[in-house]
Chain A
Amino acid sequence: MDLFTTAVRGMGFVNLSLGHVIMWFIAITLIYLAIAKGYEPLLLIPIGFGIILTNLPLANLMAENHFLWVFYHYAIEKWDLIPPIIFMGIGAMTDFGPVIAAPKTLLLGAAAQLGVYITFFGALLLGFNLQEAASIGIIGGADGPTTIFLTSKLAPHLLGANAVAAYSYMALVPIIQPPIMKLMTSEAERKIRMKPLRTPSKLEKVGFPIMACMLIILMVPDAAPLMGMFMVGNLFRECGVVERLSDTAQNALINIVTIFLGLCIGATMPAEVFLVKKTLFVFALGCVAFAFSTAGGLALAKLMNLFLPEGKKINPLIGSAGVSAVPMAARVSQNVAREADKKNYILMQAMGPNVAGVIGTAVAAGFFLAMLGK
């Protein structure tokens, strides 16, 4: 009889709580959105499954020295390996041509960090401390790996909520941005046509990652892990002599780390940690961050137009692409522009601020780390 009782007590069913069931529901919703709606499937499917795994009572996959804990502890929490490796893959997939052809778009990437800092204050007002507020604010940069990188260093207990908020809102860029873009621009502004960008030479493209990496890291050394890997990945792509490395960085390697990143992030969300008031605040603040980042980019683009001569004015819609979500935010700019003028093509011009946004968010994270890191 004792053996029977022990066996029953050892079953997960006996230890189930309402919190576990709610978390399963959240996980299945994320997996559904990823499969049925195509919302960031590469991340939301492993995150959703990680949530299920960590909310199966007695499975203990995130207990110290257990399977997922080992990956989480060494690859994210302790050594911060995964976000820089993902950045290397992103670098290998990124074409800096639009930034090189129109360097002024770099400033739009800076302006689109407005949401990061507005949300920083919003989080402080809601009772978060400086480190937590910074890690929530960075969601506004719309850059998942940077959010994970900063949160794991400043507020690891918010990692799950911040990562899910960042990736969820990134998937919702086509829904969040257009109303703000239409509200802040006139029909005439949306119809502004821009000249096609010049094609940069190979020399420009090969030298850019070296030059940019040196400049940025000299200014913000704390951004080195992200920027260093981002630029080396891009050098693999542009130099044309290491196709195997470029291919591995942008395919096999990034895919492998994405699997473990997603599972581990999901596994940081047991019911008792996730189902708290703070999580709701993180999601609300994340949405505010995205909205203000979009508005910041649009506002600077409109301001720049005041000083640019007729014929060289920029379509302010490219400003909203300054949030990093690459290339979704640039596509949204293109779609909104084409709603106003069916023959207006601004996708390539919008890729400039889009790529600049990735750099801007990593720099913002570097400044937060420099000031608030322990």
Chain B
Amino acid sequence: MESSTWTWGQALTVFAVGFSGVFICLLILQIGVNLYSFCSRLIVSHLEKKKIKNS
């Protein structure tokens, strides 16, 4: 984007895309962390059960 000339339309686009983008990105990360935590806890409990069974 040209640095010397700009329009308010461009500024609004930067604001809208940027701010909503940060929210969407961190929302997706939040969903990812929730899913990942759920799966890791499942794996950990499965491994623990297996360990108890074997012993």
Contacts and interface: CB of A to CB of B under 8 A. Distances in A.
Interface of A: 99-100, 103-104, 106-107, 109-111, 113-114, 116-117, 120-121, 124, 129-131, 133-134, 200-201, 203-204, 207-208, 211-212, 215-216, 219-220, 356, 359-360, 363-364, 367-368, 371-372, 374
Given A220-B25, A367-B21, A207 B36 contact: yes
Contacts of A107: 23, 26-27, 30
Interface in B12-28: 13-15, 17-19, 21-28
A211 B10 CA distance: 33
Contact of A117 (B3, B15, B44): B15
- Main SS of the interface on chain B? helix
A208 B18 CA distance: 24
Given A99-B33, A211-B36, A215-B28, A121 B23 contact: no
Q: Which of B14, B30, B41 has the most CB of A within 10 A?
A: B14
8 contacts: A103-B29, A107-B23, A109-B26, A117-B19, A131-B3, A203-B44, A216-B29, A367-B22
Interface of B: 1, 3-4, 6, 10-11, 13-15, 17-19, 21-30, 32-34, 36-37, 40-41, 43-44
Contacts of A130: 1, 3, 6, 10-11, 14
Contacts of A372: 1, 14
A358 to B, nearest CB: 11
The 7 residue pairs across chains A and B that have the minimum distance between CB atoms: A103-B33, A110-B26, A367-B18, A106-B30, A103-B30, A106-B26, A203-B40
B11 A124 contact: yes
Nearest to B10: A130
A212 B33 contact: yes
A208 B44 contact: no
Q: Which of B17, B19, B44 has the most CB of A within 10 A?
A: B19
